[in-house]
Amino acid sequence: MSTKWRRFEVMLPRQFNDGRQVPPEWLSLAVLEIGDQFGSVSYETQVIEGRWQQAGVVYRDTLARKPRLDEGVQESLESETRTA
């Protein structure tokens, strides 16, 4: 029997747009919430840098990557969408 796995990566900002640091406990809470929702979570401690633009203003990000690999995610997300 074939199992289809999907990998999702959640990029969490390490700084607010004004340059202040996101409190580490917020990042920890996000990791716990992902683990509670999907049964497991893994994350990288390296910093990912990004750049984005909105309304003519360019922002630079430093991010933490939280990859997630799951075989039942699509069904779970579809179920939540239907009940919302």
Q: Tell me the pLDDT tens digit for each residue of 9-43.
A: 788 888 888 889 999 899 889 888 888 888 878 77
Q: What is the mean predicted confidence (pLDDT) over 41-52? A: 80
Q: Taking residues 61-76, what's their average pLDDT?
A: 61
Closest among 39, 36, 57, 45 to 12, alpha carbons compared = 45
Supply the pLDDT for residue 48. Answer: 79
pLDDT at 46: 77
Contact between residue 76 and residue 34 where contact means Cβ atoms under 8 Å apart: no
> Can you tell me whether residue 28 is helix, strand or coil?
helix
- Say if residue 52's pLDDT is above 70: yes
Confidence band for 70, pLDDT divided at 50, 70 and 90: low
Answer for the pair 55, 30: CB distance below 8 angstroms, yes or no. Answer: no
Q: What pLDDT was estimated at residue 77?
A: 44
Question: Is-above-0.75 flag for pTM?
Answer: no
